[in-house]
Amino acid sequence: MKQTSELLYQEYRHMLMDNILPFWLRYGLDRVHGGMYTALDRDGSLLDTDKSVWFQGRALWTFATAYRQVEQNKEYKMVCDSLVSFIEQNCFDPADGRMYFRVAKDGKPVIKRLRYVFSETFTILGFAAYSRAFNRPDYAQKAYDLLLKVEHYLLTPGLLVPKFDTPSLGFGLPMILLNTVQELRAALPEKAEEFTTRIDGYLEQIKTYFIRPELQIVVEQCNPDGSLQLDHFEGRQLNPGHAIEGAWFILNEARYRKNDPELMNLGTTMLDWMWNKGWDSEHGGIIYFRDALNKSATEYWHDMKFWWPQCEAAIANLMAYSMTGNDGYLQQFDTVHQYIKGHFLDYEFGEWYGYLHRDGTLSTPLKGNMYKGPFHIPRMYLVCCQLLDELRR
């Protein structure tokens, strides 16, 4: 395995440093107004001049983490400085301090979503990574202050407009907060105990409400009392990629806690269940949605192959293998790895395609939009390089 790990490490590092990050540096970075465009066509040409606020924070995390972990490249620092400036000058509504969802190229507000806090959580990720990469404790503090705001929004009735009139709990919030606070803990180690207590709370929510042993699934939403919403499309809708992403966040927490056996079991169980639900045994790839009871799925893109679930499956399986030594996870990692290379990589213009039909044919050749940009793919290469570096030694 050491020899294989060495080859894969070199391949993944090459893809990150010589393909993915240069693509976004060349075509995504706005050298006039600052910040990052993500709506790019196959060849990198601009499809929409608006900017995703999610991706200002996510791109900041990506380039700051690459600077800290892989190479202290002055261009990466330049990108990070541009993103920090753009976020602080343009992405917060001065009226209430909430963040926008989408802004124009010059930073003027375009869309503000009142029911989510994900612009904030991704900015926390970015500020925390910026703090670690460039020794800026002031940005770790800004990230912490923003987390306190997020908690205030979540705990104050009426501040967030609910998505449904019927009260529901969603898996996405504790899952994203788990990862957000993990990153913040790394930036503020003096508050590690405080952050670990928060993480314990998110883990308890996930275990209590979304892990369903009776069906061997991870549900995306349920009633506030924990009962399932099996009479409704939304209650039965499974998102295997999302659950697998959550699985590796939990495995990563187990790593932090010196391979905590309970968390290892939770993470690998989630991965096992949702790999079984998500992997398309006929055409390959992680499918987008499944129905909890194997009924007909409702969303028209339910059987498509999006880029990001493949990224999460690669990380989760490699991490599970590195922690357990179970060859089954290594085989699953290789299966995803080969599917990605055979279907998602654009060998002519660089980066990855984002959207495939179920049979692996291309749906659209674009490289980015308001949801696809420099995050899931470079994060996969960054995390897998860390794991492979350990395995090759």
Give residue-wise pLDDT tens across range 202-212.
999 999 999 99
The two tokens of residue 296 are 């007909």
Query: 305: closest CA among 325, 280, 282, 323?
Result: 280
Give residue-wise pLDDT tens across range 96-154.
999 999 999 999 999 999 889 999 999 999 999 999 999 999 999 999 999 999 999 99
Instruction: Catalogue all structural domains in the chain, each as residue range(s) with its CATH number.
Output: 2-391 (1.50.10.10)
Q: If DSSP codes are grouped into helix, strand and coil, which group holds residue 214? A: coil
Buried b (16+ CB within 10 A) or exposed e, 373-393: bbbbbbbbbbbbbbbbeebbe
Q: Where are the alpha helices (DSSP H) in 70-171?
A: 74-90, 118-134, 137-155
Cβ partners under 8 Å of residue 313, min gap 6: 241, 244, 275, 278, 279, 286, 332, 336
Q: Are 253 and 198 in contact (CB under 8 A)?
A: no
Place of tokens 């090759």: 392
Is 0.85 topped by the overall pTM? yes
The two tokens of residue 324 are 């357990």
Q: What pLDDT was estimated at residue 154? A: 95
E strand segments, the chain? 51-52, 102-103, 109-111, 169-170, 211-212, 217-218, 221-222, 237-238, 290-291, 305-306, 355-356, 362-364
The two tokens of residue 341 are 């290379």
Give residue-wise pLDDT tens across range 321-379.
999 999 999 999 999 999 999 999 999 999 999 999 999 999 999 999 999 999 999 99
Q: State the chain's mean pLDDT as an integer.
A: 97
